Structure 1
């Protein structure tokens, strides 16, 4: 059956630009070979919802009408990839404003920086000023995707786990699903992630809408950590004192 908007599918893909420069892939070995391996990334395939914007627009649109098992190559123009390069997103800043990020290094073209929560790259250095480009690194570029639709995901548990992995990088997360509730157990570490507040809303909205289950709970898991007792924590009671204590307790008992 042909893939439709709203379907959950599992895909394998490799994204390239300038013919053979790999910038993204679900193949762990290929990521390592091209110097883009992320130890926190999820490899082996992504589960996405067709038409939800979880991939670039051109690729997302290309899924529709394909059959599970499809393999092909797609060339995507900038406007349906990472957008046209926007000159308004290039700013000239004083080196002094960024000095804390340079540490022991001198600024150089291509150096990544962050300004007011925005990530950019130094494109040019002019005396004591730098031009910082806040466009996506692939803005204005035509990209190519080699991709395979491995399967259409039908099992609700796999849909939940796949979507959580896509957003968080957490694989095989604990889930519980009934007719009226989706319960997702999350590790305590996620509570320290500032992006999690937005991410959890996206996950909840997508799953409630697509699975038709009216309620979703995120349960924060706090594992038991036994107290550690070192030798310095153990207080030895001398035999005499111990005897006296026992005698006193017996006398009080008799009274």
Structure 2
């Protein structure tokens, strides 16, 4: 073997070894339970924490629950600098990383501090420090002099470098825990979830034998009904979910992310109504649809409804 070949082989071995080293520990796509506390570098002001004791010491969030978060690495659930610091780590590892202002809440922009007419601000908010929403922008009032107000539309933490202390508590492998954690990230609420493998009927295209086809004659595609198994994530609907703004505005995007991250075929949001079940998002409907004729008659009698009168009225309307 020539020296050149030996050198090439050694270089390849080194590259393979380097690649193997990079892939050890947690990687993108892994679900982990993470504890962290974030503070501003200048001043040490608390930005966020999962530690209830830290929150109590700081006197913040009396009505909030502080507990470790389940995140998916590579999905932007924490700042990228924090994710990069965690990659390759293992359960029990800790670290500290600084997120530059530009990658955190943005640099401070002087042009975002503007003078506006005080009349545009609700009367109850006309004082320094008040948080206001004006023409789709959120800001806080710096000063009010006469009929003019100075409003800062920068993020309150703009220009601040943020230091994160983190610890990986565990790897989350249970699928229901993963699903619940993702919904908590997307919607900031806890929901009951479960997985089932359902057998459903599906139309599939019948593959034709090209040798038997007449080249000059176009044939219509043929379909057949087959039974297939679908891995399904069920989410129990609640009034809180129905009214959740993030859910109402982005349910399709949330469903797509859940489908990809949890490797399921479909998602069904299911609501229980008076003993029946109503499904959504997966095209499932239950409840009355599963009742036989005698059951329906008994239900109508229980509600003191005359079925024959309804039929006669409908027939009269058709005439």
TM band (smaller chain)? 0.7 to 0.9
Residue 193 (structure 2) aligns with: 175
Give the TM-score, by structure 1 length. 0.76
Shift of residue 166, structure 1, vs aligned partner: 2.3
Shift of residue 152, structure 1, vs aligned partner: 1.8
Residue 44 (structure 1) aligns with: 67
Q: How many equivalent pairs are there?
A: 218
Shift of residue 190, structure 1, vs aligned partner: 2.7
Give the TM-score, by structure 2 length. 0.62
Is the 8 Å Cα contact of residues 187 and 244 (structure 2) preserved in structure 1?
Answer: no
Residue 151 (structure 1) aligns with: 170
Q: Deviations over 1:116-136 (max 9, x none)?
A: 343211133343222222222
Which of 1 and 2 has greater Rg? 2
In structure 2, the residue corresponding to 1:119 is in which secondary structure? Answer: strand
Structure 2 CA distance for partners of 1:140 and 1:153, relative to 1, 3 Å? same
Partner Cα distance (1:200, 1:31) in 2 = 32
Residue 122 (structure 2) aligns with: 99
Q: Deviations over 1:42-94 (max 9, x none)?
A: 42211111111122222122222221221121111112211212334333221
In structure 1, the residue corresponding to 2:122 is in which secondary structure? Answer: helix
Is the 8 Å Cα contact of residues 56 and 82 (structure 1) preserved in structure 2?
Answer: no
Structure 2 CA distance for partners of 1:133 and 1:124, relative to 1, 3 Å? same
Is the 8 Å Cα contact of residues 122 and 133 (structure 1) preserved in structure 2?
Answer: yes
Aligned match of 1:61 in 84, 89, 97? Answer: 84
Cα RMSD of the aligned pairs, angstroms, is 2.3
Is the 8 Å Cα contact of residues 11 and 148 (structure 1) preserved in structure 2?
Answer: yes
Partner Cα distance (2:273, 2:136) in 1 = 30
Partner Cα distance (1:159, 1:204) in 2 = 14
Is the 8 Å Cα contact of residues 85 and 95 (structure 2) preserved in structure 1?
Answer: no
Q: How does 1:64-213 map to 2 (within 5 A)?
A: 64-102=87-125, 106-108=126-128, 110-171=129-190, 173-179=191-197, 180-213=231-264
In structure 1, the residue corresponding to 2:261 is in which secondary structure? Answer: helix
Segments of 4+ moved more than 6 angstroms: none
In structure 1, the residue corresponding to 2:269 is in which secondary structure? Answer: strand
Structure 1 gap ranges (5+): 225-255
Structure 2 gap ranges (5+): 1-23, 198-230, 276-319
Shift of residue 24, structure 1, vs aligned partner: 0.9
